[in-house]
């Protein structure tokens, strides 16, 4: 259970997908959150839709927000209305206001453009605004930046956010659990995100345990 949850049994996590490589991380994270009983708000950019089609062509993931929400619920066996998807201009969505923010937000994967916009308070679309709300309301915000190598500008933007207690979590899987599949490498990263959200899981073997 997230520490800032406003209800006794339901916590809400906002997951934002931007135009960076790494969509398998995002979908696995959404799957785990649904399985844990969380309410999930999904935000997508147009660039994210392009990357989804490139990286996951076999899944035929719909682009329209209502269809995507239904697809996620069916794909990951969620409850009705457990998942809501919002487009970049849906300013009346809950995450756009500090009066009704999510308990936590994860930008996964996070492009360097979105990282820069969040670091400098641009708020030109719903993803940037939702992240700005997390900062001003002092709610947990996790950034999963997908780029290599990082430029000085990238690093300075990350430092700016880290000073605001944003968790910067590059998707760097470990190998001490001897992964043999891409899915196991994805799970390593997603498990660390879930840990920082205080969401219980058993998707990887923890260090020191057999």
CA distances from 139 to 63, 85, 135, 167 (A): 29, 20, 6, 11
Nearest to 118 by CA among 64, 45, 190, 52: 45
Q: Where are the domains of the chain?
A: 12-196
Average pLDDT, the chain: 94
Nearest to 14 by CA among 22, 2, 24: 2
| CB neighbourhood size of 67 (10 A) | 12
Q: Is 39 annotated as a binding residue?
A: no
* Beta bridge mates, 63: none
For helices 23-35 and 65-75, angle between their N-to-C axes, nearest 10 degrees: 60
* Three-state secondary structure call for residue 108: strand
- The reported pLDDT for the residue numbered 5 is 41
Q: Is 80 annotated as a binding residue?
A: no
Q: Is 113 annotated as a binding residue?
A: yes
How far out from the chain centre does Cα 95 lie? 14
Tell me how many degrees the CA angle 125-20-81 measures, rounded to the nearest 5: 60
Q: Is 146 annotated as a binding residue?
A: yes
Asked if pLDDT for residue 2 goes beyond 80, the answer is no
5 against 104, higher pLDDT: 104
- The reported pLDDT for the residue numbered 74 is 97
Distance CA 72, CA 65 (A): 11
76 against 209, higher pLDDT: 76
- CB of 108 closer than 8 Å to CB of 25: yes
- Mean pLDDT across the stretch 72-84? 96
**Confidence label for 1 from pLDDT (cuts 50, 70 and 90):** very low
* CATH architecture entry for 12-196: 3-Layer(aba) Sandwich (3.40)
CA distances from 146 to 22, 26, 81, 116 (A): 7, 12, 30, 13
**Confidence label for 208 from pLDDT (cuts 50, 70 and 90):** confident
Q: Is 176 annotated as a binding residue?
A: yes
Distance CA 126, CA 141 (A): 15
- CB of 109 closer than 8 Å to CB of 25: yes
Q: Is 5 annotated as a binding residue?
A: no
Asked if pLDDT for residue 84 goes beyond 90, the answer is yes
| Burial of 55: CB neighbours in 10 Å, binned 0-12, 13-18, 19+ | middle
Distance CA 85, CA 90 (A): 10
What is the radius of gyration, based on Cα positions, of the chain?
16
Q: Is 7 annotated as a binding residue?
A: no
């Amino acid at each position: 259970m997230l520490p800032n949850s406003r209800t006794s049994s339901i916590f809400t996590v906002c997951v934002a997908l931007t135009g960076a490589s790494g969509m398998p991380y995002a979908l696995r994270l959404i799957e785990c959150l649904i399985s844990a009983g969380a309410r999930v708000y999904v935000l997508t950019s147009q660039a994210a839709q392009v990357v989804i089609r490139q990286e996951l062509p076999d899944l035929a993931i719909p682009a329209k927000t209502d269809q995507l929400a239904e697809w996620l619920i069916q794909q990951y066996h969620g409850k009705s209305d457990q998942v809501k998807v919002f487009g970049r201009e849906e300013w009346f969505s809950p995450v756009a206001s500090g009066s009704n923010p999510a308990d936590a937000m994860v930008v996964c994967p996070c492009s360097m453009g979105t990282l820069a916009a969040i670091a400098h308070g641009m708020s030109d679309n719903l993803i940037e605004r939702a992240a700005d709300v997390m900062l001003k309301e002092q709610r947990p915000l996790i950034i999963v930046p997908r780029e290599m190598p990082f430029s000085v500008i990238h690093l300075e933007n990350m430092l700016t956010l880290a000073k605001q207690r944003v968790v910067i979590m590059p998707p760097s899987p470990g190998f001490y659990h001897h992964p043999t599949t891409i899915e196991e490498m994805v799970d390593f990263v997603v498990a660390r995100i879930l840990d920082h959200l205080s969401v219980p899981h058993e998707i990887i073997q923890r260090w020191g345990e057999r």
